[in-house]
Structure 1
Amino acid sequence: MSGVVNKSSPVMVRPSEEHGLVAATVQLSSLDQGVPPCAISSLLMFDQPIDKPIETIKQALSQALVDYRPVSGRLAGDRIACTTDEWGVPFVGASATCALDEVTVALLPDLAVAYAGSLCGDHEPLLQMQVTEFSCGGFVVAVTWNHILADGAGMGQFLQAVGELARGLPRPSVVPVRSATALGARGLPPSTVGAERSAMGFRPSKGEGAFLDITVPWSLIGRVRAQCARCTVFEAVAAVLWRCRTRAAIPDTAEQDQMAPLVFACNVRKLFGLGADDGYYGNCFVLQWVPATRAQVADGDIRDVVGLIRRAKEKIPELLEGGAAEREREQTPLYNILGVSSWRGVGLDEADFGGGRPARVMWHEELMVVPACAVLPPPCKGKDDDDGVNVASLCVKPEHADAFLAELAAM
C-alpha cells in the first residue's frame, strides 16, 4: 500500500520563555568549520501512540529551545547568531493515510521537511521538524538540520531533551553546551580543517543515487569477524559495504591502480585528549580517509580490507596533529569514494516522547554529496537486530543498484 501524507503549513516554533531570547552569538569550533552546510535528516519511527503527538512535541520543542537557544539561530560567518526573537524552528504537522508498517522507501521524502537548495544558506533555519501521525496511531518525528549545527550525537542529545520535556520533566536532564570553548584548548589544526571540508565539500547532486534500505546479515558479519581477530561490528559491516560497492560500481579495467578509497566518520568526544565537556552538542567528529586501489578492495582478502580500516582508525590521533593534509582526494573521482557513518550508539534511538523509544531510526537523503551509507541503530524493542545490521544506502547510481545488491547476497 502506498500512503498519502497531508501536511499543514509550517509554523515557526520559538523558545517558550523570555529569558531564552537573550541576544547572543556562538563561535563555531574548528570541528564545526570543517563541515560544509549540507542538510542531514533523521526519521524516528514510533509504533506506540501518545496523546496528541503533534501538539505535545511542538510544545516540548518550544520548551527545549529555551536551553538550546542556538538551535533557533542562524549562521553568520564563523558564528551562530541568536539575536532576534523572530527566529525559530519551522514545524510541520502532518497525517498519513496508511499505517506505519506500510511505509515504503518512496514515502520517506514526504515525512521530512527539505531545504530549498542543495546546501543550507546562512538565512535559513538551522533545524526543521515534522511530526506525522499514522492511521495505526504511530507517528514519525523527522528532523532535518544544517550539519554545521550538530553531528548525530549532538542531535541525539537534543531530541532526548525534547522527549524529556514532552514527558513532563521541567528541564532536560543533560545541561547543554554549545560554546567552542567546551572543546578546551584542543581542536583541529588549520590543515586538517581544510582537508575535512574538502572531504565533505562536494556539491550535492539530486537523482544520481539509488536510495536502498538494506540489511547486512549477522551470518555474514559473523564470518568476517571469525576471520579477523578483534574485528568490531562496524569494521565488518564497513568492509562488506566497501567491497560490494567497489565491485558493483567501479569497473575492472586495465588501470588496476585506480583509487577506490573509503571515508568514515569517528566520534572524538572522549578520544585522544580532546576533552569535550559533557553536554556538548556541536560537531565533534573527524573524517578518516582510507586509501586503497580497486584491486585491493574488490579482489583482496577480506582480512586485508578489514586491516585497512583498522589501521586507519589507529591513525585518527594524527588528524588532531595536522597529519591529514597530504591526501589523494583531489585526484580521486567522486564516484570512486565511499563514505560510511555509524548512527549506532549516538543516542538518536534513545529519544522517548511518551510512548517509549522508536521502533526504528531511519536516514533518508535524495542528494548525493558523496556515495554514502549510514549504519543504523537496531530496532528498539529490547533486543538487537534479528536478521542483521540495517544500512541506509545512497552509494550507487541506479544502474549499479542491482549489481550492488547481488554482490551483497553473494558474499
Structure 2
Amino acid sequence: MSATRHLAAIAVALALVSASCSAALAQKKYDTGASDTEIKIGNIMPYSGAASAYGVIGKTEDAYFRKINAEGGINGRKITFISYDDAYTPPKTVEQARKLVESDEVLLIFNSLGTPPNSAIQKYMNQKKVPQLFVATGATKWNDPKEFPWTMGWQPNYQSESIIYAKYILKNKPDAKIAVLYQNDDYGKDYLKGFKDGLGSKAASMIVAEDSYEVTEPTIDSHIVRLKATGADVFFNITTPKFAAQAIKKNNELGWHPLHFLNNVSSSIGSVIKPAGFEAAQGIISSQYLKDPTDPQWKTDKGMIAWNEFLDKYYPDANRADASVMYAYTVAQGLEHVLRACGDNLTRENIMKQAASIRDLELDGLLPGIKVNTSATDFAPLSQLQLMRFKGETWDRFGDILSGDVGG
C-alpha cells in the first residue's frame, strides 16, 4: 500500500511538472517578426526630399533601440530596427511598407511619418492585420479603432489642440470676433473642425471670417489684409512654418494686433518666430506637450538628465535644440512600455491590446502632468497640452494642463 501511494505521488508530481512545462510553453506566443531572441520593428521616414529634416526622428529611435539592446533588450529579446526612406512620397511609402511586412517580416510598423504617407498604407496595414503603431502625424483620423483597429496615433491631434484654444477663448474672451486662416487641405480642415467643435453653438457668431490658402501660393499677405479688414480681434493662424512666419510679419507691418493663436506645428523659434521677428511675435499663444531641451528650467530635471545621458552615449551628434529628437525619444519610450507589457505574448493582436490599455503613463520628455492614456475605444494616447505665450525671445508656459478630448 505504501509503495502504491509512493508511485501515485510520483505520478502526480510528474503530471504537475508536465502541466507546468506545458503552461510555460503556452505562455510564449509569437507572430511573424518575434521569437525567443528577437523583435523586428519596421519604420518609414523621409530621410531624403523636402521633409528630410524629420529624418532625425528615425535616427534617434535607432539610437534608443541600440540603448535597449545594450541593456539586455526587452524581456531578454533584442530589437532589430529596420527603417527605410520614402522621401515623403506616398507611392514610395506603399512600396516600403510592403517590403517591411512581406519581405522583412516585421512584427509591426512603428512611428512612420506624415499624414499622406500613413494614409497611403492604412488600409493595407489593417487588411494585413499588422500594427501601424504610434504614427508620427497629428491627424485626428488615426483615432478610429472601429474602422481601423490596427492603426493608432501618438501626439495630441489637431482637433484636440484647437479645442483647447477654443476653450481658452470662451473663458477669457467670450465676446471675441475671430478670424481664421487655414491651409486648404486635410491638415487645415482638421484644425478648423476642432476649433468649431470647441466653440460649439457660438462658433457661427464668434467666427467673423474664414480664409484659406493653397500651399502653392508664394505669399499669404493678401489673406492677412482681408482678415484685418473684418475688424476681428482674435486671429487663429492655422499655417505651416513658411506661411506662419509670413502671417506674423504681415500682421506687424499692418499694425494688426489681435489675440493671436498659432498652431503648435509652427511654434518653432528657429524656423518661424526668429525669421518673422521677435518683436512681431510678442504675445502669440500656442501650446506644447514636450519639455523644451533649450529651457534652462529643466537643467536638473530627472527626465532631461536621462535624455542627455542617452544622447551622450548613443547619439552624440544629435542637435539637442531640435524638438524632433525629444519627440522621438519619448515615443520610443512609449513603444518600449507596450512591448514590455506584452511579456511573452508577442502576437500582433496582443501588441494592439497592450497599446490600447495604457493608464497614466509618464515619460521622460512629457511636461509634468501630461500622461499617456488609451483604451479600446480611444486610440489617441496624448490629448493634453499646456498653453504658452511668446515673451521676449522664448515661449513662456502658463496655466494648467488642459485636455482637448475630441467629442468630450
Q: Same fold (TM over 0.5)?
A: no
Question: Which is helix-richer, 1 or 2?
Answer: 2
Higher strand share: 1
Q: Which has the larger radius of gyration?
A: 2
Higher relative contact order (CA 8 A, sep 6+): 1
Q: TM-score, normalised by structure 1?
A: 0.27
Compute the TM-score of the two structures, normalised by the length of structure 2.
0.27
